[in-house]
Chain A
Amino acid sequence: MSRYDGKKIVIIGDRDGIPGPAIQECLKPLDCEVIFSSTECFV
């Protein structure tokens, strides 16, 4: 049981930090639904 179980997830990644697809990949084994994932560029 993790804190993400049954949750809907919105991911906003950072190009020079952790990008969206990498966070999404980490969430794959968990029982949650990624409803939005994006990577932002702040520079």
Chain B
Amino acid sequence: MTNPVLKNASYILVHAPDMIVHNGTTATVEKKTNQNSEYLEKLRDSLRSYDEVVNYAPNQVFIGNRTPESLNDLAMPWYTQPVKGDRYGKFGEIMPQDEFICMMKISDVFDLVKLSQSFTTELKTKLANHKLFSENEINLLKEGEPEETILSLVVDHHSEGIYHDKKLVGCVKKAHDFDTNLNAHVMFENLVAKASGVLAVKHLMAQTDISFDEVEYVIECSEEACGDMNQRGGGNFAKAIAEGSGFLNATGSDTRGFCAGPTHALISAAALVKSGVYKNVVVVGGGATAKLGMNGKDHVKKGLPILEDVLGGFAVLVSGDDGISPVVNLSLVGRHTVGTGSSPQAVITALITQPLDKGGLKITDVDKYSVEMQNPDITKPAGAGDVPEANYKMIAALGVKRGELEKAELMNFVKKHGMPGFAPTQGHIPSGVPFIGFAIDQIKSSELSRVMIVGKGSLFLARMTNQFDGVSFVMEKNKSENVCAENSGYDESQVKRLIADAMRKLAENLTE
């Protein structure tokens, strides 16, 4: 059996200001229930520009241009402290809305997305400059439709409008006359999840030496459901993204668990690789339009810009042992079970200390914990506090209770073993996974030796159970090289002696 490793991770953001207004649940519900609200009046003026989003420090951390710890040097609120940002980062990019709208069209295989002729012409040129898009993909945009056709589809045929810069530039048609699971709104959300997943995979594959043909399985772990009236969540995004990404030898399936979905998916992927079922598995999650502007009312009320203005996406490649990449230690998996209970102590015990106990480890033996990494710039003004910090304090408190940490060291633990939150509140996107890219690099460079990824999910929101959920796993430094060296009987000092002897003999021969 091989050890499963996390080889690469990609992270993408999509600036989506018009989608906040037309597709985010907070704005759309407000339009239905309180059309003349002050919030709706102020919403448009509270949107950030693309440049502001690129120069927003937490976004630069998300795509890998800055470390999470660098946020400690910036005074909060961070939206008042612009940095010099780049569109592209080590892990991915921040895509502008107009280009992403084209990705929705490219990802649509049922001709449901219609874009206007003028928008299509303009964007074909723009997208041609993107190094990750082929000519064939750009040709899928076709020539576009007359603007009257788009308007008629929206006004007369229940299509969902696609807006850019406040203008109607296209629409998503309903996929069935009566099926609510295939209506235009649902198709819009699902195409966004698919397209942003494909974008994350593009950036993942641009980083790795594994070829597209070597990917055998895809696990998709967003919070959307695709299906029809007979099977609401029939699926599956995974194979659709695999197809859209050109993984000809892959199939896949969707894993769900609210925000905990990605961590569940990564544990499953690692187990599939370890067991030898598949050699290379891609775990991918696309973004959620529904959550755009989710806490916007609080932000606007307090005079802040709408900070939930980006879709998020990520992808991770799980492969067999390459001797270099961090290993997923499947003997240190934590899980919140039905019988665990809901008290913070029970939750942290199940997710943190029970798996560590299996390996005889202390809480302080994990260098970094990646928990709920929501950006506190977003959550604090909304009254939800600093979520990562709250999680770190609970872990530290349990450490104190177990006698592994002095009470006076509690906040030092938070700083040393934690990090500031930097991910957008896109549900599954901030949960555990945002740090994996940094963890791969920092474990490889020996800055860190052990990182725990913790995912939590609010299952009670689906009203099927009152249960909460969570799972965790540990990434560790790859010691395969040492293991190989030990097994081979290699002795460095002996080799040096042999080389020295050989050199001495050579020198003696030359002088004779």
Contact = CB atoms under 8 A, between A and B. Distances in A.
Interface of A: 14-22, 25, 38-39, 41-43
A38 B319 CA distance: 41
A21 B456 contact: no
Contacts of A42: 295, 379, 382-384
Contact of B259 (A18, A20, A39, A43): A43
Contacts of B344: 17-18, 22
23 contacts: A15-B468, A16-B372, A16-B384, A16-B390, A16-B391, A16-B456, A17-B344, A17-B385, A19-B342, A19-B343, A20-B342, A21-B341, A22-B341, A22-B344, A39-B342, A39-B466, A41-B458, A42-B382, A42-B383, A42-B384, A43-B259, A43-B374, A43-B430
5 A-B pairs closest in CB distance:
A42-B384, A41-B458, A19-B342, A22-B343, A21-B342
A39 B461 CA distance: 9
A38 B427 CA distance: 19
Interface residues of B, number: 25
B306 to A, nearest CB: 16
A17 to B, nearest CB: 7
B425 interface: yes
B460 interface: yes
A21 B341 CA distance: 8
B330 interface: no
Contacts of B427: 43
Contact of A39 (B382, B385, B458): B458
A16 B341 contact: no
Contact of B468 (A19, A25, A43): A19
A17 B458 contact: no
A15 B456 contact: yes
B461 A41 contact: yes
A19 B460 CA distance: 11
Nearest to B386: A16
Given A22-B341, A41-B461, A43-B384, 5 more contacts: A16-B456, A17-B390, A21-B341, A43-B387, A43-B427
Nearest to A14: B384
A43 to B, nearest CB: 5
Contacts of A43: 259, 372, 374, 379, 384, 387, 425, 427, 430
Nearest to B346: A22
B460 A39 contact: yes
Given A15-B456, A41-B461, A43-B384, A21 B466 contact: yes
Contacts of B382: 42
A16 B458 CA distance: 10
Contacts, number: 52
Nearest to A19: B342
A17 B372 CA distance: 12
A40 to B, nearest CB: 8
Contacts of A22: 341-344
A15 B466 contact: no
Contacts of A25: 343
B341 A15 contact: no
Given A21-B342, A43-B379, A43-B384, A15 B458 contact: yes
Given A21-B466, A43-B425, A43-B430, A16 B387 contact: yes
Contacts of B342: 19-22, 39
Count chain B CB atoms within 10 A of each CB in A20, A22, A38, A42 and give the residue with the most.
A42
Contacts of B372: 16, 43
A17 B348 CA distance: 12
A12 B360 CA distance: 37
B420 to A, nearest CB: 15
A43 B342 CA distance: 18
A22 B347 CA distance: 11
Interface string B64-96: 000000000000000000000000000000000
A27 to B, nearest CB: 13
B461 to A, nearest CB: 6
B343 A39 contact: no
Contacts of A18: 343-344
Contacts of A21: 341-342, 466
A25 B343 CA distance: 9
Count chain B CB atoms within 10 A of each CB in A25, A39, A43 and give the residue with the most.
A43
A33 to B, nearest CB: 19
Nearest to B466: A21
Interface string B387-402: 1001100000000000
A42 B26 CA distance: 13
Count chain B CB atoms within 10 A of each CB in A15, A17, A39, A42 and give the residue with the most.
A15
Interface in B266-316: 295
B369 to A, nearest CB: 14
Contacts of A14: 384
Nearest to A25: B343
